[in-house]
Amino acid sequence: MYRHLLVPLDGSELGTGLATQAVAFAAALGAKITFFTMREDYGASGEGALARTLSPQAFAELAMGEANAILAKAVAAAGAAGVDCDGVARTGARPYELILDVAAERGCDLIYMASHGRRGVRALIIGSQTQKVLAHATLPVLVATVEANVRGTPAAAAVDIIKDEHRAIAAICAGLREQAARLRAGAETDHELTGALLHYLRAFPERLHHPKEEQYLFARLGQRSTDAGPLITDLEREHAEGGRRLAGLEQAVARLREAGGDAEARTRLGDDIDDFVAGQWRHLNTEEKLLLPLAARHLRDEDWAEIARAFRENAELGKAGAQDEAFRRLFSRLMNLRAGRPVY
């Protein structure tokens, strides 16, 4: 059987579904995954050339694009399932050539990719990059019909959006755990990055993700199933407790950044961050392993449609579109800062 999958991703909603399916497939096989994404050659554009001249620092950040963010979410999904993985990004203009090159370099024995959304009669015409990979590959290619799952039912669409947000939270927590390890080791620590990672958790999960869960997913499930009551109560309590602990960590990082601290203070903060991260990962796991399957059994299509709309557009909770885009850019920037450099 296959032992090493190459999974190309593009950051779309279909890509979220593809990562979910690929992780489940790899877990069943006991296989490793190399996630791949392509970075556009920003420097080759007129805008990029101008940015390079006017602000090399801004150019470097824009040139990194969203590749690290896309890979960080996929790696988080694999990590949650215990699947060995790594991530690779390359800059270029021909995705199918880069896909084949990376598959060969990494010793992959299967390319697992999506057909990217063709439906009806158009489903007979596979997406152009997938078609080119099929035409030129010398190893097996499995084309997953992700669009049937992502767009086929309101439930599938809603769950994929929720899991994508969970993966962003998990990736931020992974960055915090890296900083915690540096604190305990006495190594140079980027307090600005640590503070920014905590700020993201304050700004996104605490103010948007958790309220959406409680007002839409939890509320609907509570109406449909009395059995869900104790679980929902526990999860809402964890939301509140996580917010309080997050505030304490933000204060501790601010004190360390402003006044410094001895080895004991650094170790204590590192331990507190690790404990907080472990709690966040347990919470996400409970929602995905217990709450979502329970919701799948009890919620109706109209419930899921409302939940999907709320998570996609922030519904009554805020400014749809612009706010989502701001969080997407912030997440990409943090993942680029965490990586320190593009992934090659």
pTM for this prediction: 0.85
Yes or no: say if 337 and 243 are a contact pair by the CB < 8 Å rule.
Answer: no
pLDDT at 152: 66
Model confidence at 60, in pLDDT bands (50, 70, 90)?
A: low
Q: Above 60 in pLDDT, residue 126?
A: no
Yes or no: say if 152 and 5 are a contact pair by the CB < 8 Å rule.
Answer: no
Model confidence at 225, in pLDDT bands (50, 70, 90)?
A: very high
CA distance to 62, 170, 249, 292, 303, per residue, from 159 (Å): 31, 16, 30, 8, 12
